[in-house]
Every structure is written in C-alpha cells, then in structure tokens.
A and B are shown apart, each in its own frame.
Chain A
Amino acid sequence: MSKYLLKRLFMSLVTIWAVITITFALMHSVPGDPFRSESKMPPAVYENLLSQYGLDKPVPQQYVIYLGNLLQGDLGASMKSRVETVNDMVERGFPVSAQLGAQALLIAIVFGPALGSLAALYQNKFPDYLSMVIAIIGISVPSFIMGTVLIQFVARNVAYFPIGGWGTWQHTLLPSFALALMPLATMARLMRSSMLEVLNQDYIKTAKSKGIRKSAVILKHAVRNAILPVISILGTTISNLLVGSFVIEKIFGIPGLGRFFVQSISNRDYTLIMGTTIFYAIILVAMLFIVDIAYMLIDPRIKLAKEGR
C-alpha cells in the first residue's frame, strides 16, 4: 500500500512539474515582452524593469530561478499590479474561492448520488423522471447561464438573496448552487446507471436471500458499491468546479481567485497568469491524490491489485 502511495505521489509531482514547464514555456513564447506595449517608456526605466523581473537573463536560467522560487513557495510577482505579488492575491482570493467550491462540491456530493439512487430504485417511475429532468437541466445549462438566470429571476425578486458580492451566508447560496448544478447532474446520471448495474449483481441477490430488510440491502450493499464510479470522477469534478468558479465569480462579482485569474487574462499579466495557473494545478493534483486515497479506502480490492504488481 505504501508502495502504491509513493508511486502515486511521484506521478503527481511529475504532473505538477509538467504543468509548470508547459506554463512557463507558453508564457515565454509570447512574442515580445510584457512591457513592450506600455511604450513611450524611457529606455532606462524599461531596462530597469526587465532586470527587476529577471527578464534580461537567458530563458533557461529564468526557468531555473523560477523553479527555485516555486520550491520556496514564491509564485512570483504581478507585472501589472506592482504592489501585490501572486502570493498576496492567492492569499486574498483563494479562501473565497475555496469556500465557494467546497460548498458547491458538498451540494453536488450530497444530492447527486441521492437523486441517482432514487432514480435507479424507482426506474421508470415518477422519482426517476423527476431526477432525470433535474439531471438533464443540469448538464444542458452551462453554469454561466444558470448563474445569469438565478440573478435575473431569483436574486432580483427575492430580497433574501443579494444580487452579487460576497460577505454573508446569503451571498454564498446562489453562486454555490449555480456552480453545483452541473456536477450534481453528472453524478446523478452516473449513480443511476451504476446503481442499476449493481442492483443486478449476484451479491445483491445474496444479500436479499439473507432476509435482511430492503433498506439494508440498498444502503449497505448497493449504494456502497454503486458510489465507487462517482468517487472516481471526483477529480474531474473538482477540476470542472475550478473552471466553473471563474465564470461564477465573474457573474456574481465575487472577489475570489478565479476573478483575479480572469482579470489577469484580460490584462495580459503573464506572471500572474503563470503563478495562478501553477497554484491551481498544485491544488488540483493534490485533490486528485486525495480522491485516489479515498477510493482506495472504500474499495478494498484496489490495495491488493496495485500492491500485487
């Protein structure tokens, strides 16, 4: 087991390194440099800026320096905002984004599999149709549309919900819901089909043949096995939530990291884009790692299969 964990950890580090390298290469392949556009700058100031950001050195050297800084937890400076570093922005924006993302994930994890299970247990009956309608809406309506609709039709009419911004519990509800809907729908659909499959398995028949209650058969035997595929897509789900948060933070005017990221894109703030991307990648890869461990804890077969090799 520890061998498998080590291997997984190694793969995660490789992934992070790949993202850093790709990001660095991409950002340095942009023609010209970030200060060119702010023309009419006295040459002396320009030279000064270049050396201040280390841009006068050869690219390989810059890469090594950048990696070194990253290892010390320094994500770099912002080129446009000369007072705040990337670390400052992450510190300011990430807690907000993390709360939004965690709430959305919680909503999706609680309601998605529940809806999917209900649908499977009442296949072709009303609960099935109801949850599949919800699921179809969830996958068909992108979060930026859902967010807009919620602002237009809910927030504008119900005083309880603020139209945008961040601060109180009420502020978090609509954006979390808008963000949660698509993963919720995906999980519901996946859970439905995996539940239908599990309910046909022999061990469900064995469980029934013991004479235990139907609810026990479903909860202890069916759900626990049917939820495995749902857990295995958690990584992708978190990744989608992250990108979804860019959109949701933009619509609801939430001061999260996603909003800084989107702004840095329109500002062409390359160091900020690079730093934020790398931060995101590290968070995501860490999440994937955690999801993997969770999967291993729930499915006892994984340990042996991976260890045996």
Chain B
Amino acid sequence: MEKILEVKDLAVSFKTFFGEVEAVRGISFEVGKKETVAIVGESGCGKSVTANSIMQLLPMPPAFFKNGEILFNGENLLSKSEKEMQNIRGNHIAMIFQDPMTSLNPTMKVGKQIVEGLIKHHGLKHHDAKKKAIEMLDLVAVPQPEKRIEQYPHEFSGGMRQRVMIALAMISDPQLLIADEPTTALDVTVQAQILDLMKSLQERLDMSIILITHDLGVVADTSDKVVVMYAGQIVEQGLTDEIFKETAHPYTQKLLASVPRLDMNRDEALLSIEGTPPDLYIPPKGCAFYDRCDKAMKICKDNMPGFTEHSATHASRCWLNHPMAKTNEGSGI
C-alpha cells in the first residue's frame, strides 16, 4: 500500500522547571493511503503530543524534538520551515480537536472560520467563499447552512460545533486528517454520528485518518490499524483484527477489558484499569507498564523489552514474547 505518512523513531520532550519530561519516546508507525489508523492509550500517554508533532503545533519552547523524522509523502516535516508548514497545514493535513466548545473562535462568525483557510490556500473571492462555506456545512449535515454561516459558535450545540470543525478541516480536501479525540467531549449518540460522518467523508474524499482516542470501543469498526501507546512509547501495533483477536500486550488486554458498555459512563470505564501511567519525568528504566501489570516478571522491572513481530503487520513490546517466558504464561495471574 502507498504510504502517506511515516513516523520514524520520533522522540519529543518538554523542558520544565523540574527537568525534561519525555512525552514521546521513540515511536514509529505508518499511515497508508485511505487508511484509518487509530492511536489509543490512556490520557497522558503522548497521543496529542504525537499529533501536534505532525502538525508542528507544539509550543517550542518548552517542547523540542529529540530524535526521529516525520515523512509526509516522503518529505521530512521536521526540516520544513514555518512558511512551508503553513502551506501544508489545513491544505494537505488537517486536524480537529477534542473539545468543540473551545476549538472555535468565539468572536468570529462560523462561515468565516470555515473558509478562512481556503481563502489563504486558494485565493477564493468573498462570494465564492461564502458559497463554499454553505456547501461544506451541508456536507457535514448541518441543517439550514445559509443561516448558520452567519452565526457565532456559541449558537451551536457541541455536536454541531464538531461538525463545523470537520467542515473546516475538510475544506481543502486534505490527504490526511488527524482527529484528536474528536468524540470524547460528546454524548454517546452524537459520538456515533460524528464517527459515521468522518467515515463517509473519508470514502468520498479518499483521505487517510489518524484517529486518536482513549476508547478502544470507538476503534473496532472505524479503523484499519491500531497503535497502542503507553507512557510515550508504542507497546503494540497491528491490524484492528489482530489487536482485538490476537491481543499480545497485557496493557492492550486491559484496555480491551475496559471498553465501555452502553450502561456505563465513559469515565467509569477508564477508571477500571487500576493505577495511573507513570510520570514521564524520569521514565522507568524497564517496561513502563510493570507497576500495573498482572503478568510482570522479574526481568520487566529494569529491562526494556524490544519489539517482537507476531506477523508482518503485528508487533508488541513485552517480555512475555520471549521464548523463556512461555512456561510461565498464565501462572502469573
């Protein structure tokens, strides 16, 4: 499959008062054309930092790139100038954010916010821009778009605002859409609608999606591949089927066990994994999941496991994959 994005050995840190916080610690993954890749993990695992690294929206300082490259259509984004990035953002790569209540400018009319990027990238005239804005709102199924473009964000509900954000992101037919927890702040019913919308737009526009979420339930029927992140690292990645059916890493197993059912609220589901991810200020020497892992072995504490490939597409980072561990499997629980 044709690759559109390749992240190689990416490491990102923040300089803080206490010292360096290693938010992302050497991750590699690929996104193919028209593919949807889900990045999952609890909050604080470095998902947003990864997404913002691709868009280069991290505040620098305190953030800085320690290592790695991000290849978009074969070109390294990390070596691009701000001017060149401006031409890519919103044009070839678009992004939508977690909280639709805060991600639109409260003092600017919605229509103007949607077409602003287009005017910059394609030099649209005012009249055409307005027509395009109406068209886009129609595309994301916002009723009465002619009226809506003249309104301000506070006149929209959360779900409607997220639709506006999607319209805004879709405006120049991007090749890649990064959605950073696009449904976390929304009601369950609205959640499904937004995901459906993204899915149908993807088919229509032939784009790739990076879907960031801390909810594996969302992933099952939307994504082709899953990347599981923990404490700034990738602990397992593979095709969605592989992740769900041949789960290799204990952390992924726990995430799967905590997929919310309809009768629980989302926060409850998250709490169901005991403990919290480690602080990335001085990250652990060994496996970062050691503290919370039911199957932890002596070796895990001070030795970082490498990746084991289970198939051409499926790999995980766990000492249980080691041949000598086989005998113990199951006994540790």
Do chains A and B make direct contact within the complex (CB under 8 angstroms)?
Answer: yes
Q: A residues bordering B, Cβ < 8 Å? A: 201-203, 205-214, 216, 220-221, 224-225, 228, 298-301, 304
Q: B residues bordering A, Cβ < 8 Å? A: 55, 57, 82, 85-91, 94-95, 97, 99, 102-108, 113, 116-117, 120-121, 152, 154-155, 165, 168-169
Question: Are B86 and A203 in touch, CB under 8 angstroms?
Answer: no
User: How far apart are the CA atoms of A216 and B97 in the complex, in Å?
Assistant: 20
Residues on the B chain within 8 Å of A211, using CB: 85-91, 117, 120-121
- Please give the distance in Å from A153's CB to the nearest CB on chain B: 42
A-B contact pairs, 5 of them (CB 8 A): A203-B103, A206-B113, A210-B120, A224-B107, A298-B107
User: How far apart are the CA atoms of A211 and B87 in the complex, in Å?
Assistant: 6
Residues on the A chain within 8 Å of B99, using CB: 202
Question: Are A203 and B168 in touch, CB under 8 angstroms?
Answer: no
Instruction: Count chain A CB atoms within 10 A of each CB in B82, B86, B95, B105 and give the residue with the most.
Output: B105
Our pick among A212, A225, A301 for the contact of B120 (Cβ within 8 Å) is A212
Question: Are B57 and A209 in touch, CB under 8 angstroms?
Answer: yes
Q: A203-B105, A211-B91 are in contact. List 18 more A-B contacts (CB 8 A).
A: A206-B97, A206-B113, A207-B105, A209-B55, A209-B89, A209-B90, A210-B116, A211-B88, A211-B120, A213-B86, A213-B120, A214-B86, A216-B116, A224-B107, A224-B108, A300-B107, A301-B106, A301-B152
Residues on the A chain within 8 Å of B108, using CB: 220-221, 224
Residues on the A chain within 8 Å of B120, using CB: 210-213, 216
User: How many residue pairs between the two chains, A and B, have CB atoms under 8 Å in the bound complex?
Assistant: 81
Question: Which secondary structure dominates where chain A touches chain B?
Answer: helix
Residues on the B chain within 8 Å of A225, using CB: 105-107
Instruction: Count chain A CB atoms within 10 A of each CB in B55, B82, B90, B169 and give the residue with the most.
Output: B90
Residues on the A chain within 8 Å of B88, using CB: 211
- Please give the distance in Å from B185's CB to the nearest CB on chain A: 11
Instruction: Count chain B CB atoms within 10 A of each CB in A208, A213, A224 and give the residue with the most.
Output: A208
Our pick among B86, B103, B152 for the contact of A212 (Cβ within 8 Å) is B86
Residues on the B chain within 8 Å of A299, using CB: 106-107
- Please give the distance in Å from A208's CB to the nearest CB on chain B: 6
User: How far apart are the CA atoms of A23 and B97 in the complex, in Å?
Assistant: 56
User: How far apart are the CA atoms of A210 and B102 in the complex, in Å?
Assistant: 16
Residues on the A chain within 8 Å of B97, using CB: 202, 205-206
- Please give the distance in Å from B131's CB to the nearest CB on chain A: 19
- Please give the distance in Å from B151's CB to the nearest CB on chain A: 9
Question: Are B116 and A212 in touch, CB under 8 angstroms?
Answer: yes
Question: Are A301 and B154 in touch, CB under 8 angstroms?
Answer: yes
Instruction: Count chain A CB atoms within 10 A of each CB in B87, B104, B107, B154 and give the residue with the most.
Output: B107
Instruction: Count chain B CB atoms within 10 A of each CB in A203, A210, A212, A221 and give the residue with the most.
Output: A210
- Please give the distance in Å from B102's CB to the nearest CB on chain A: 4
User: How far apart are the CA atoms of A202 and B102 in the complex, in Å?
Assistant: 6
Question: Are A209 and B106 in touch, CB under 8 angstroms?
Answer: no
Question: Are B104 and A206 in touch, CB under 8 angstroms?
Answer: yes
User: In the complex, what residue of chain B is closest to A208 when comparing beta carbons?
Assistant: B57
User: How far apart are the CA atoms of A208 and B165 in the complex, in Å?
Assistant: 13
User: How far apart are the CA atoms of A206 and B165 in the complex, in Å?
Assistant: 9
User: In the complex, what residue of chain B is closest to A304 when comparing beta carbons?
Assistant: B154
Residues on the B chain within 8 Å of A213, using CB: 86, 120
Take A206-B97, A300-B154, A304-B154 as given contacts and tell me if A212 and B104 are in contact as well, using a CB distance cutoff of 8 Å. no
Residues on the A chain within 8 Å of B94, using CB: 209
Take A202-B97, A300-B154 as given contacts and tell me if A210 and B103 are in contact as well, using a CB distance cutoff of 8 Å. no
Question: Are B104 and A203 in touch, CB under 8 angstroms?
Answer: yes
Take A210-B116, A211-B89, A211-B121 as given contacts and tell me if A203 and B106 are in contact as well, using a CB distance cutoff of 8 Å. yes
User: How far apart are the CA atoms of A224 and B104 in the complex, in Å?
Assistant: 14
User: In the complex, what residue of chain B is closest to A299 when comparing beta carbons?
Assistant: B107
- Please give the distance in Å from A209's CB to the nearest CB on chain B: 5
User: In the complex, what residue of chain A is closest to B94 when comparing beta carbons?
Assistant: A209
- Please give the distance in Å from A117's CB to the nearest CB on chain B: 16
- Please give the distance in Å from B163's CB to the nearest CB on chain A: 14
Question: Are B90 and A212 in touch, CB under 8 angstroms?
Answer: yes
Residues on the B chain within 8 Å of A202, using CB: 97, 99, 102-103
Residues on the B chain within 8 Å of A208, using CB: 57, 89
Take A209-B90, A211-B88 as given contacts and tell me if A201 and B102 are in contact as well, using a CB distance cutoff of 8 Å. yes
7 closest A-B pairs by beta carbon, nearest first, are A210-B117, A211-B90, A211-B89, A210-B90, A300-B152, A202-B102, A202-B103
Question: Are A206 and B82 in touch, CB under 8 angstroms?
Answer: no
- Please give the distance in Å from A154's CB to the nearest CB on chain B: 40
User: How far apart are the CA atoms of A304 and B156 in the complex, in Å?
Assistant: 12
User: How far apart are the CA atoms of A299 and B108 in the complex, in Å?
Assistant: 9
User: In the complex, what residue of chain A is closest to B103 when comparing beta carbons?
Assistant: A202
Residues on the B chain within 8 Å of A300, using CB: 106-107, 152, 154
- Please give the distance in Å from B92's CB to the nearest CB on chain A: 9
User: In the complex, what residue of chain A is closest to B101 when comparing beta carbons?
Assistant: A202
User: In the complex, what residue of chain A is closest to B106 when comparing beta carbons?
Assistant: A301
User: In the complex, what residue of chain A is closest to B117 when comparing beta carbons?
Assistant: A210
User: How far apart are the CA atoms of A192 and B94 in the complex, in Å?
Assistant: 30
User: How far apart are the CA atoms of A67 and B309 in the complex, in Å?
Assistant: 91
User: How far apart are the CA atoms of A214 and B165 in the complex, in Å?
Assistant: 20
Question: Are A206 and B91 in touch, CB under 8 angstroms?
Answer: no
Our pick among A201, A210, A298, A304 for the contact of B168 (Cβ within 8 Å) is A210
Residues on the B chain within 8 Å of A216, using CB: 116, 120
